[in-house]
Structure formats: C-alpha cells, structure tokens
Amino acid sequence: MSAVEESLPLSRRDARQARTGRTRRKRGWLAFFRDIVVIVIIALIVSFVVKSFVVRSFYIPSGSMENTLKENDRILVDELSPRFTGYHRGDIVVFRDPGGWLPPEAAVDRGPIAAAGEWVLSLVGLAAPDSSEHLVKRVIGLPGDHVVCCDAAGRIEVNGTPLDESAYVKLSPGRSTPKEIEFDVTVPEGSLWVMGDNRDHSRDSRLNMDQPSKGFVPLDGVVGRVFLRTWPLDRFGGLGSDGNAFLGVPGRDRS
C-alpha cells in the first residue's frame, strides 16, 4: 500500500479498493467474452472451409435411390478425395442439376428468422437448404464408356459387359428386372452417366436425353462422393462404392 493510500480515511480507501476490484472484474469479463468471440469466429471459419472444400451435408428429397438411400435421409459428401482419385463406376454422387432434370420448385417463405438461421447453419455445413437443387445417383458410365440398355436378360451393359446390379437395384413388385428404357450412348469426356437405384422411379440420365445435357452429368457440376449416412440413427453407417457390379468391365475405372 502506498503512503498516499495510508493517509486516506478508511472509507475512501475502501471505496478506491472496491472500484479497483470492480474494474479488474470488468476487464476479466471483457477478456473472457473477447476470447469466446475469437473462438467462435475461428470455429466458423474452419467449418466454412471444411464445408466448402472437404465435407458437405445433404438430405435426400426423394425415393429415387431406394433402398440404398431413403427420402429424408441425411448424408455426408466427400468433396476432397475425388479431386485426387477421380470417380469410379458404382460411386454414389451428388451433383447440381445439369439443366431441366428437376421440375421448377415453388418458393417457400420460411420467415426471416428461420431463413437467417438456416443460412448461418448452411455456412458451416449443418444445414442443406439447396438439397432440392441437387440430385443423387449412382455412377454407371465414366468418360469413354459405351453404355447400353439392355441385353436379352434385361441387364445394363458397359463396354460390352453385362452388369449384375442385384446388390443395389430396387425392383418393383412382381418384376425380376427393372423396366427397360432403351438407350445406346458413349459417355463424352468430362461427363458421367448416372442412374438411380430405384430404377423404375428415378429421373436419371435415361429420362433426360432430351435435355441440353443429353442425359450426361458434367464433372464440374459434381459436388462429391457420398460416404456416410448420418440420419436416421438406426441406419447410420458408411456408404462406399459398389464396384462389384462392374467387375470385368474393360476400360479405366476412374474419371
């Protein structure tokens, strides 16, 4: 204690010490809140980078990929590794509408608070408000592949080899093979040919050959490869490629 403080009356000395204590506590709380804000900002930046370049969340808006994926399932999409490994036949991929694949969507007014909250969550990959603007399908043909429907047994052929897709294709009741929609295409460079697992109820490459994309999906419109189902919890698990259906198909097995 300084000589000046010793000379002050007791009440004034106590008041000064009380003010000093309040000032220190105030500075302590300000430092605490500053640290919290910095941590939150760093977490948001890291989450944004992860969402933009590494992993992204989507929900499934339709039943076109049943039984592999069901309507309202939540999935995670790997955006990073395909940049190095490319895509393979059998991969499940999410891609932007190449144009005309999806019907026009009526605008839904969720209110400013809900819209703002969803926008913030979308920045960090915890919400997927644009899921309805994307599609999810299975890669059947890579650039250069000759894909044909169908052989005498109703099977898709890739480069002359019939596929055994029984592990993932959903059949309609009373049918042993999906409905045949005839096509004979060669996948151009920089594109994919994709089909839904629920073959009889999927507006995929086969049904969009009259669109500007001619049924092909540009690689630069592919978000990434689906690798995990996160919801519902009772079906939580990995979703790797099913390459067994393409064993024996000649030609490169990556885009």
What is the per-residue pLDDT for 157? Answer: 97
Pick the catalytic residue from 137, 191, 213, 241.
137
Domain count, the chain: 2
CATH of residue 117's domain is 2.10.109.10
Cβ-contact 101, 107 below 8 angstroms:
no
24 and 64 assigned to the same domain: no
DSSP 108: -
Is residue 26 flagged as an active site residue? no
Residue 251 located in a structural domain: no
Instruction: State residue 21 phi and psi, 5-degree precision.
Output: -65, -45
Same-domain pairing of 34 and 83: no
pLDDT at 77: 94
Position 52 scores a pLDDT of: 56
User: Quick one: 180 and 230 in the same domain?
Assistant: yes
- What range defines the domain where residue 22 resides? 3-50
129 in any annotated domain:
yes
- Please check whether residues 141 and 24 belong to one and the same domain: no
Check residue 107 and give its pLDDT: 47
Q: Report pTM.
A: 0.77
pLDDT at 214: 96
State the pLDDT at residue 179. Answer: 87
Asked if residue 220 and residue 179 are part of one domain, the reply reads yes
Give the dihedral sign, CA 115/119/122/124.
Answer: negative
204 neighbors 193 (Cβ within 8 angstroms): no
For residue 13, give both structure tokens. Answer: 């000395």
222 and 164 within one domain? yes
Q: Are residues 31 and 126 in the same domain?
A: no
| Same domain assignment for residues 20 and 122 | no
**Does 91 lie in the same domain as 24?**
no
Question: What pLDDT does residue 111 have?
Answer: 60
Same domain, 163 and 132: yes
Distance CA(91)–CA(194), nearest Å, equals: 10
Segment 112-157, tens digit of pLDDT: 665 555 555 555 555 555 567 899 999 999 999 999 999 999 999 9
Is 70 annotated in the active site? no
Cβ atoms of 231 and 239 closer than 8 Å: no
Tell me, yes or no, whether 11 and 99 share the same domain. no
Regarding whether 44 and 143 lie in a shared domain, the answer is: no
In a domain, 42, yes or no: yes
> Looking at the domain assignment, is residue 121 inside a domain?
yes
Mean pLDDT of each 10-residue bin along the chain, 255 residues long:
50 60 66 73 60 78 94 93 93 95 67 58 54 88 97 94 95 87 96 96 96 96 94 90 89 87
Q: Is residue 97 part of a domain?
A: yes
Q: Does some domain include residue 139?
A: yes
> Of 57, 62, 64, 191, which one is the catalytic site residue?
64
Is 156 in contact with 140 (CB distance < 8 Å)?
yes
Q: Does 255 map to a domain?
A: no
For residue 68, being part of any structural domain is answered with yes
Q: Which of 30, 50, 70 corresponds to the end of one domain? A: 50
Given 35, 50, 65, the domain boundary residue is 50
